Structure 1
Amino acid sequence: MKELQGFLSRAADDYLTPYHLSHTMKQKILALACRCLSLFVRHASLLRPIGEGGKMRLAADFAQMELAISPLCSRPSELGRPYRIVRSFRPLLFQTVDHITSSPSLGDVVPYSTVLHFLFARAPPEMRSPHQAST
């Protein structure tokens, strides 16, 4: 996460700050920040196996991710749905399967596909993840 923070900060300072940003350029930068958040949540949902220590570290990474995109946007809340997904997914890390399936953010904020990947990641090792090829 520190490398990502450093890269985004350096890229913003070196390539974005020297120029007057047009509306179109600002929209593209926000789209980049949204893509960073979306990919982060997707990858976090696929982590397997993850113990309690890993959950704690991942929760810290969620907070760091919000800081990492700050050079790209002044208010992360303006990113809309990708930001809401990040904020809603982090509490799911520590919930039981029953609590996850009854979460009000399920489907409305956090996509079903992301939650399904997360539930597969919590399954026993005999159950393969959807992205794994069968042999």
Structure 2
Amino acid sequence: MPEKGSDMYNPATDEASLDRCVRRLLEIIQEFPPIGEFLEAAEPVETGPGWEKRLAAHLSRVRIPGFCANRLAVEAWTLTELIAVRVITLRSIYSDAGNQEKVRKLDGIEAETEAFAPLLHATMASLEPFSSLDGKSQWEAMLKRYKNKTR
């Protein structure tokens, strides 16, 4: 591979960068369970009289952790896109060169990221109310979510 800074350098074919993206994605995946457990434990807000006050108390507990989890999910999604582009580009190069060992490695990376995609989509959807750090935006999103649950 050409060195960074050379005329032939192409970030899409930087295998070391691909490895860093995969490593960071795996780190994020490891961060999700404890955050999810925290958010799920804080989740129950029973509807009925006074539920908006309980929802406000709930939001004050989960506002920052929820935003952090949302940003991690966005980062994970971005990494999966970067990984996919690099896998496609590198697979073409390695296939043309007959390097089946590298192609198998890329196949493994692709399989792992594809397996994670449905969970990531669900995670991003569940964290949508936390896409902004603005308390009012979060409040409105949570209020909408709970009103939809009670219908």
TM-score interval, smaller chain:
0.3 to 0.5
TM-score by length of structure 2 reads: 0.33
TM-score by length of structure 1 reads: 0.36
| Bigger proportion of residues as helix | 2
Q: Which has the higher contact order (CA 8 A, sep 6+)?
A: 1
